[in-house]
Amino acid sequence: MRTIKKPFAYSVFIFSAGLSCVTSFAADTTSQAVANTTQTNSTEQGLLYQIPRLIDATPTLFPEQSEESTVPATSETENSTWPDRQQKNIREWADRTAHKIDNWFGDTDPNRPASATLRVILDNTWNKHDGYELNPRIRGKIKLPTLENKVSVVFGDDSLDNELANNVAITNENPASPKDKNINNKKTREDNGSIALRWSEFSKKLPFETDFDLGIRSGSDIYARLKASKDWQLDNDFGFHAEQIYRYGIDSKNYLRTNFELTQSKPNHPILSNQLSLTYADAQDDDLSWDNFSFRQHQFFKGNSFSYGLYTGGYYNDSDLRLNSYGPFVSWRQPVLREWFFVQGDLNYLNDHRENRSHFIGALVRLEALF
């Protein structure tokens, strides 16, 4: 781990913390500018119109968007087979556990029962340079209505919460080292060993949504984490989402991540989106790293997504700003047999300048069960 000069670390923090304010100002300014333009000129000429218009004019062979379900509802199959019964048992056990925890804080309301959600994930990745890697991941949340739904318990792989909710690709902030292949039991325990109390929306006076976590991760890393996010509705069915995450751990020290998402979501049309993340962490080698996905996303049936686009990623280190990796990617996600079991497959063709690797094929498969 490198040593970062304090002035630079502070400047990165100030820059990242100020992004939300800048974004808010920019969004307000843009909205006002668009309103003025609309009043003076009925013909839209801005980028929010030109780029979608160009893409929509491109011929396509893909079917139309659809919300039609291709798998039976969970209520219809929960007693059908052994896997269905196990899914139901785990789901009910999680809810009973949530009710017991909620009861610690006062009298419970039968009309507002406590509940729990659980994601169990198995990520598989392969490329010719790094070989095959298997990553079991878990993330859960227990809602406690006795505390006015403002406090919950979160556990498992906390890096999943650093991603955008609609993250288009399979990513992992904690990849295995070159010596750790297949399943590393110690690493799996550390990555999934986070537990914290989360306070949400602790002030109605703030102009954005907030989460504050206090907990322990990786066995001994006591940490505090703050997340602030906000959404803006722009012109031409565009929406802009920004979120700022700051975490400080006794062992992991400073971690900062900024996520931006600009999305056009027109009714009965494929989604057009760009997702950008900027990351600073004392535990990473670079001063700042960034990842960007520009993509088109279709939904051919309920729970499905088919995405394709361009990935670019790079870093800033020792006053050197570099584009390190770029290339096309494609992703497909859908429920399989049951609405609680999903399979996602990603293919990409990326390079890596830092490792002197020309473009190569990478494959990722995610198996995910929801409880």
pLDDT in tens, 278-304: 999 998 888 899 999 999 999 999 999
**Predicted confidence (pLDDT) at residue 2 exceeds the cutoff of 70:** no
Report the number of distinct structural domains present in the chain: 1
Computed over every residue of the chain, the mean pLDDT equals 85
Q: Is the dihedral of CA 18, 169, 69, 88 positive or negative?
A: negative
* Structure tokens, 307: 């995405």
**Predicted confidence (pLDDT) at residue 18 exceeds the cutoff of 60:** no
Report the predicted TM-score, pTM, of the whole model to 2 decimal places: 0.82
Q: What is the pLDDT of residue 203?
A: 72
Domain annotation covers residue 29: yes
- Quote the domain boundaries for residue 336: 6-370
DSSP string, 77-92: HTTTSHHHHHHHHHHH
Q: What is the pLDDT of residue 201?
A: 80
Domain annotation covers residue 154: yes
* Structure tokens, 309: 């686009």
Residue 130's SS3 state is coil
pLDDT for 239-270, tens place per residue?
999 999 999 999 999 999 999 999 999 988 99
* Structure tokens, 61: 């062979």
Angle at 81 between CA 75 and CA 85, to 5 degrees: 60
Looking up residue 237, the CATH number of its domain turns out to be 2.40.160.40
Domain annotation covers residue 158: yes
**Predicted confidence (pLDDT) at residue 72 exceeds the cutoff of 50:** yes
Domain annotation covers residue 100: yes
**Predicted confidence (pLDDT) at residue 182 exceeds the cutoff of 70:** no
- Over residues 316-327, mean pLDDT: 92
Domain annotation covers residue 336: yes
Domain annotation covers residue 199: yes
**Predicted confidence (pLDDT) at residue 349 exceeds the cutoff of 60:** yes
Q: What is the pLDDT of residue 218?
A: 84
Contact 299, 324 (CB under 8 A): no
What is the rounded CA–CA span in Å between residue 333 and residue 304? 5
Helices (H), the chain: 6-40, 47-56, 74-77, 82-103, 185-191
Helices (H), 63-121: 74-77, 82-103
Domain annotation covers residue 1: no
Give 149's pLDDT tier (boundaries 50, 70, 90).
low
What is the rounded CA–CA span in Å between residue 265 and residue 194? 34
Domain annotation covers residue 192: yes
**Which residues are CB-contacts of 267 (< 8 A; sequence separation ≥ 6)?**
none
